[in-house]
Amino acid sequence: MIPLDQQERYRDLYRSLRPGYENGVSVFAELVGRHITPQTRVLDAGCGRGGVIERYCSEARQVIGVDADLVSLQEHRCLTQLIQGDLERLPFVDGCFDLVLCSWVVEHLTSPEVAFGELARVLRAGGHLLLLTPNAWNYVTIAQRLVPGRLQHRLTRAVYGRDDRDTFPVAYKANTRRSLEGSLRRTGFLNEEFHLVGDPSYIAGNEILFRLAVAWERITDWGPLRQTKVHLVGSYVKG
């Protein structure tokens, strides 16, 4: 098992090796902080139990969380306005949000363009959609996808110590830069900012594996292999 605190130690070590490095969550959080003001109406789409929004929920005019999983909503760590719902059928009027957050959600969508169409509908013109999701071309994701569905929960629990209730089916229908931006463009979004973010800590079970992962990060910093970085982080504006 690779405990979270061990992953964080290796991330700290990686930062010391590469000054200025930020992981996917940090890059996403910076984008969120840039767009939230005391006037911002925010939808956290697929909010789970919390996440980056916990840093900013008191700074916005309104934050509403939507998730299909009732247990996650009942255990949410900061939001009080919570709705159990489907991202493909959101219970909101058109254009009622300034900002939509969508972290660790795209990989679970079986019909991403339907969900993106709904997110576009509830955003005002000029509003922003901020995304954080795994890259289907990364070796960690590829390895996970090769494991039969019935064994994925066991693997995730064994390697990362994640509880079964925090593990949901994955689809990866829009989890490359090309497929993601194509789906978003067709549903009315224009790309404003995009980041391919690496992270060697996902296989950092020991020092040797960490060093191998660091070497791979250097290799994938250039050329076409850059498209295999583990996380996709993007800012999109509704046209």
What is the pLDDT at residue 1? 59
Q: Is the Cβ–Cβ distance between 146 and 235 less than 8 Å?
A: no
144 contacts 170 by C-beta, under 8 angstroms? yes
Q: Does the pLDDT value for residue 226 go beyond 60?
A: yes
The predicted-structure confidence for 72-100, as pLDDT tens digits, reads as follows 999 999 999 999 999 999 999 999 999 99
Can you give 148-184 as a three-state secondary structure string?
A: CHHHHHHHHHHHHCCCHHHCCCCCCCCCCHHHHHHHH
- pLDDT higher than threshold 70 for residue 166: no
- Residue 63 near residue 57 (C-beta atoms within 8 A): yes
45-59, 61-75, 96-110, 139-153: lowest mean pLDDT where? 139-153
Domains recognised in the chain with CATH numbers: 4-238 (3.40.50.150)
Assign 205 a pLDDT band (cuts: 50, 70, 90).
confident
Read off the pLDDT band of 151 (50, 70, 90).
Answer: low
CA 60/CA 52 separation, integer angstroms: 13
- What tokens appear for 32 in the block? 């969120």
Please, which residues have CB within 8 angstroms of residue 60's CB and are 6 or more apart in sequence?
A: 36, 37, 38, 40, 41, 42, 99
Other CB atoms within a 10 A radius of the CB of residue 134 amount to 20
Reported as a pLDDT band with limits 50, 70 and 90, residue 5 is: confident
* pLDDT at residue 159 in the model: 47
Q: Which amino acid is residue 23, in one-letter code?
A: N
In this structure, the strands spanning 123-134 and 189-197 are unpaired
User: What per-residue confidence (pLDDT) applies to 2?
Assistant: 77
> How large a percentage of the chain has pLDDT more than 70?
91
Identity of residue 93 = V
- pLDDT, residue 4, reads 81
> Using CA atoms, how far apart are residues 172 and 140, in angstroms rounded to an integer?
13
Q: State residue 160's pLDDT score.
A: 46
